[in-house]
Structure 1
């Protein structure tokens, strides 16, 4: 294993390693990457993994992010003469994996680009010079010789519409790009330390794969026709070998739970136009946090019959504005016509701009949906500058509002269930009153909490149950820091009233509230009786909540003789 680093930029490194017979990994390690897609502040950086397969012929599987241009190309040239590359296999065309396709093809103009039909179309749009290509589908094989017989598996919508997997029957290595990946950067090539990577693996799934649970299950079904999987050569994070079977099975378990949801929202977007894909992913993530199923659909590359079926089955429709001119505009207009023809009264509707520079206007389309009897579930998202953390968080919260709106009848019914002895008995479990405050990057959030308890004495630690659909949940991942503000008995009503309000998506939850900054960066409420500075150590899934265990770094009491406010409930099935 060889690690190549720059003396001037030590936090971008390249790792070269043999992972199987005739198979080499080129891993671009981005140690300080603190944001990726909709994941609000990565704790452990990320990697971009590329692979060389040598048989009688040579295949390069994916490239790297453009920021690694010099390092990656140098490593590639030191490893192999690019003129020997026969095939460039594109697992999908998102820029973090295909960002150097143009440069590779300049060095290897003889290489045949292999990918799905959608992938080849995307590449033709940004390579800007002719290249030989081969479109493949599930079951198609490519024999490189010397035992390397590759079989392709279509895996659309994981998490782009052009994704495919590649299985080498000779080495039993499955090349998966985004699938079974995680944003986790370390020198460890393999997944030896499951405890270290598990939170990032789950968070990655929730953000990028859960919104396409049915597509995940379909891909797993197609994988059933392959042989044994000795290793998973994914596109992000350590490769999977020691725990591959267990981690693949996690995808099945998590996806089955998502696919059993009573209601579904269809999110329509245009890949490779503006920020449509990332904004739609943030909306889908927010919807999924409520337990509502999500199906993401490409407006420009999906069969009209499939669009009709999804739109008819959906309880809600979210639509990203397509471009108003060009080929994609024509295809999107046809798809939108199909959606309008399939829509029905009382479906939820939400629209967002893609910020692609040529967006169709929102208002005329929203009026058409309103006239059909659809109900807007959140204010249309209009974007006036390049999307940043605040915009993605707004989208997440808008998606959560939509999901909660769809489940409102179930929620009300549950809250009215007051005659159960069990519910009444559970309600006798009292707790203190607290407000959790958190800040990560430019994002801030807060939540009133009562399911809080000390969990350890050495080190000092607390456990907090946080509902999955809470906005603050995304800011309480492993490694995140927050403040536990303790409210004072007899002097908590104003703070409780403020933080019990239903905030619109993107609203500042601290407006009008006096705060000061803690050493960990989170806001301390001036009106709190005491505060504790906490760091998340682990998370345990408990049905509709996460139980979050955190160690306590420091704390302070403002009134030594005052008591903590206590919350008494009547029933145990809601707060």
Structure 2
């Protein structure tokens, strides 16, 4: 079929065209009636042979083909799939043109979101336009802290022309353009710089281009090659001719606005192959696109409060989005050799004249910055080298980084080094392609589960990586997972090619692996991959993950736990090999024996977020404060419940009693499949915060996480007790005794 030879994004776009044509009745989609049936066919994406597993439309039996749909149902099936993926906006269907078929189900009520778009000044001639949303807004794992988010764009006014840097996603599409029109003369904006572009931003770009067309003006778009390819696929060709020109940026290119000369730095990663940063020497602002971002929404535009306020958000975003590609992140950081505008002079390994040079560098940088004069690379007689003297980092999401610039850049380096070190011990290759972003979301969640278990991740987006890169990754990894969308009932061509490489690799057959994927129809691609791996005797480490439409929190939890299970299996295998080479009998050290005598009460922690829930047996629990009453709880990084006890999360601590803990402990200590209900078979009631209260608990407490501290292989939570109750005042607390501090 044609779908097999088309790029994934283009296939998705063809589906959108089919849906729009079906709704409007144009000839882009062929609609023929025969015996009350309709066949929707758009460049091979939808066909009469395409099968559906289930449907909510009246009269459509499970397993029916598209050819059995009425015209009404055919249109709504097509549109619902596309609206779910965010490729088209919901539109009413003219029922007068439909002769038969049951009416579609009523549309779901829109989710109310507290959001706004506002403008503020960042530096001379530079403004920021920030779309602010206090709600979670998205389903992806990186929004797990539920602190809202911002979409940031920037406007730079030069003496010759004005440039707009980045556009907001579809959640702010109309408000974004209206705000631009109110604050600026659109005809004066001659350039649009896209540091990142995705299908979720198409709607905003279309509305902006329509506004420009009404004013009879055009715009030149500067972007990387991957972004340019996506633009040409998602926008009509006549729009390219009338409204905008496309400039594909190469390394070292600049854009002179008059007084502001933007320097472009390509920073691709598997997650964002189109990544491109921009640097303005005049204001010393670095526009970092996704790098140094955070999903958090506060009243402040800047990082007021620094690491104490935003540290958790920056770290969580890094873990979700960049930890799975440390090599590419390291390469990007090396290109962005950032030094703070007012950095103190460094005297390390310097003597005599070199000390004076460091002082002069600091003084010169400070004076030029005070007068808003540019500091070009290497202008201080080589003392700055290729460093970017930066007054502030302007990311795509979260606060503008100014007061915490040095700390955040340093932490990025530390986090990246830690992930690279993990990769030296063991690595899992995460191989995938994505059409709408849903498969990418699954890959991110699996990667986070692998990473938090202490195993490195090598992310491979097969749309952009070469066969040689894939082969090299398979040769050095300790396991792999492969994920795919389903397009036209098939795997996309890049996944077919990748699967062929895997099946021919004898070493890969010895590795534990997994399969995942998303689909809008029947998900044949996932089934095909799973079956072919089984036929070749590959070792599937976890049940295949199938996601219809967008993943829910429960689906992402299954993905994360699956990644953790795979990583733990790899670590156990390596530990077994090391133990076989070591002496058979070892005695715990004095320190381990001493630490093992520290005892704790035996408790059960239960937590829930949306449709995701989990529980764990905990013994490292202690009271931490009188006013307010607070607890500390240690949670291993690879625990399934870890992702549900982030800052702000609510949970329940159930205290177990002596002679009442055996049944509960036996239940919670057994192995579980990813996403399996850990409390099944135990009598519970639901607490007011959503957690579960055990009937056999002698007391329980509803708690809220106030802060988390990283302590080696655990997170220590400090939680305030919101409410609680003593259920049994005659039974003593169960205590967990150990002989060594090296294990539970």
TM bin, normalised by shorter chain, reads: over 0.9
1:552 aligns with 2:721: yes
Deviation (angstroms), 1:545: 0.5
Distance verdict in 2 for CA 1:521–1:509, change over 3 Å: same
- 3-state SS, counterpart of residue 535 of structure 1: strand
Equivalent pair of 1:115/1:136 in contact (CA under 8 Å) = yes
- Cα–Cα, structure 1 residues 204 and 96, in superposed 2: closer, same or farther, change >3 Å? farther
Alpha-carbon contact 1:41-1:441 (below 8 Å) kept: no
Q: Is the 8 A contact 1:321 1:352 kept in 2?
A: yes
Q: How much does 1:63 deviate?
A: 1.1
How big is the shift at 1:243? 0.7
C-alpha spacing 1:236/1:384, structure 2 compared with 1 (3 Å): closer
Residues 82-231 of structure 1: pairs in structure 2 closer than 5 A: 82-95=186-199, 99-108=203-212, 110-129=218-237, 130-131=239-240, 132-146=245-259, 148-157=260-269, 159-194=271-306, 195-224=308-337, 225-231=386-392
Deviation track 1:493-533 (CA, whole Å, cap 9, x = no partner) reads 00111111211011122222211122222111111111111
Pairing partner for 1:247 from 408, 416, 419: 408
Could you say which residue in structure 1 is the equivalent of 2:165? Answer: 61
State how far apart, in whole Å, the 2-side matches of 1:161 and 1:360 are.
27
Question: Pick from 623, 626, 630: which aligns with 1:454?
Answer: 623
Residue 399 (str. 1) matches residue 563 (str. 2): yes
Q: How far has the Cα of 1:76 moved from its partner?
A: 0.6
**Deviation >6 Å, runs of 4+:** 413-416
What is the alpha-carbon distance in structure 2 between the residues aligned to residue 416 and residue 182 of structure 1?
48
Residue 3 (structure 1) aligns with: none
CA distance in structure 2 between the partners assigned to 1:441 and 1:296 by the alignment: 28
Taking only aligned residues, the RMSD between alpha carbons, in angstroms, comes to 2.4
Q: Does the aligned pair in 2 maintain the 1:41–1:440 contact within 8 Å? A: no
Displacement of 1:401 in angstroms is: 0.7
Name the residue aligned to 1:4.
Answer: none
CA apart distance, 1:304: 2.0
Unmatched 5+ residue regions in structure 1? 1-7
Contact 2:491 2:525 in 1 (8 A): no
For the residue of structure 2 that corresponds to 1:444, the secondary structure is strand
Q: Distance in 1 between matches of 2:674 and 2:288?
A: 35
Q: Deviations over 1:140-173 (max 9, x none)?
A: 2222221x11122222227422222111122111
In structure 2, the CA distance between the partners of 1:9 and 1:532, relative to structure 1 (3 Å rule), is closer
Distance 2:575 2:599 in 1: 22
What per-residue deviation string (whole Å, max 9, x for no partner) do you get for residues 196-252 of structure 1? 222222111111121122221111001124521111111111110111121121111
Alignment of 1:359-398 (within 5 A): 359-370=523-534, 374-398=538-562
What is the CA-CA distance between 1:276 and the residue it aligns to?
1.2
Q: CA deviation at 1:137?
A: 3.1
Cα shift readout 1:345-404 (whole Å, capped 9, x = no counterpart)? 321211112225475533443344345553211111122454211111111111111111
| CA shift in 2, pair 1:145/1:95, >3 Å | same
User: SS of the counterpart of 1:499?
Assistant: helix
Correspondences of 1:340-489 after superposition (within 5 Å): 340-342=503-505, 343-357=507-521, 359-370=523-534, 374-410=538-574, 418-489=587-658
Q: 1:274 to 1:211 in 2, by over 3 A?
A: closer
CA contact (8 A) 2:520 2:548 kept: no
Q: Which residue is 1:260 aligned to?
A: 421
2:234 counterpart SS class? helix
1:297 aligns with 2:460: yes
Question: What is the DSSP-based 3-state SS (H/G/I as helix, E as strand, rest coil) of the residue aligned with 2:390?
Answer: coil
Task: Report the Cα offset of residue 344 of structure 1.
Answer: 2.6
CA contact (8 A) 1:489 1:562 kept: yes
C-alpha distance 490-358 of structure 1, shift in aligned 2 (>3 A): closer
Check whether the contact 1:112–1:133 (CA below 8 A) recurs between aligned residues.
Answer: yes
| CA distance in 1: counterparts of 2:479 and 2:322, whole angstroms | 20
Aligned 8 A contact 2:474 2:508 in 1: no
1:338 equivalent in structure 2? 501
What is the deviation of 1:297? 1.2
- Going from structure 1 to structure 2, the CA distance change for 1:34 and 1:479 (only over 3 Å counts) comes to farther
Q: Which one is further off, 546-555 or 272-281?
A: 272-281
SS at match of 2:557: helix
TM-score by length of 1: 0.93
Task: State the distance in 2 between where 1:107 and 1:326 align.
Answer: 38
Taking the aligned partners of 1:208 and 1:452, their CA distance within structure 2 comes to: 31
2: distance between equivalents of 1:473 and 1:177?
A: 29
Aligned ranges for residues 34-49 of structure 1 at < 5 Å?
35-39=138-142, 41-49=144-152
Aligned residues of 1:14 and 1:28 also touching (Cα < 8 A) = yes
**CA distance in structure 2 between the aligned counterparts of 1:426 and 1:410, rounded to whole angstroms:** 26
Quote the Cα distance in structure 1 between the aligned partners of 2:509 and 2:270. 31
Contact 2:483 2:526 in 1 (8 A): no
Q: TM-score, normalised by structure 2?
A: 0.73
Local SS of the residue matching 1:203: helix
SS of the aligned residue for 2:647 comes to coil
**What 5-or-longer segments of structure 2 have no aligned partner?**
1-110, 338-385
Residues 13-22 or 127-136, more deviating: 127-136
2:89 counterpart residue number: none
Give the counterpart of 1:236 among 377, 389, 397. 397
1:503 counterpart SS class: coil
Q: Deviations over 1:410-445 (max 9, x none)?
A: 555689854433322222222111110011122111
Residue 98 of structure 1: how far off its partner (Å): 5.2
Size of the alignment, in residue pairs? 567
User: Which residue does 2:174 correspond to in 1?
Assistant: 70
- Aligned partners of 2:518 and 2:549 also within 8 Å: no
Secondary structure of 1:573 counterpart: coil
Secondary structure at the aligned position of 2:388 is classed as: coil
Question: CA distance change for structure 1 residues 363 and 14 in 2, over 3 Å: closer, same or farther?
Answer: closer
Taking a change above 3 Å as real, the CA distance of residues 416 and 263 of structure 1, as seen in their structure-2 partners, is farther
Task: Answer whether contact 1:167 1:226 (CA < 8 A) is retained.
Answer: no
Distance in 2 (alpha carbons) for counterparts of 1:206 and 1:401: 18
Aligned to 2:366: none
Specify the structure having the higher radius of gyration (Cα): 2
How many Å separate the matches in 1 of 2:202 and 2:263?
20
Q: CA deviation at 1:462?
A: 0.8
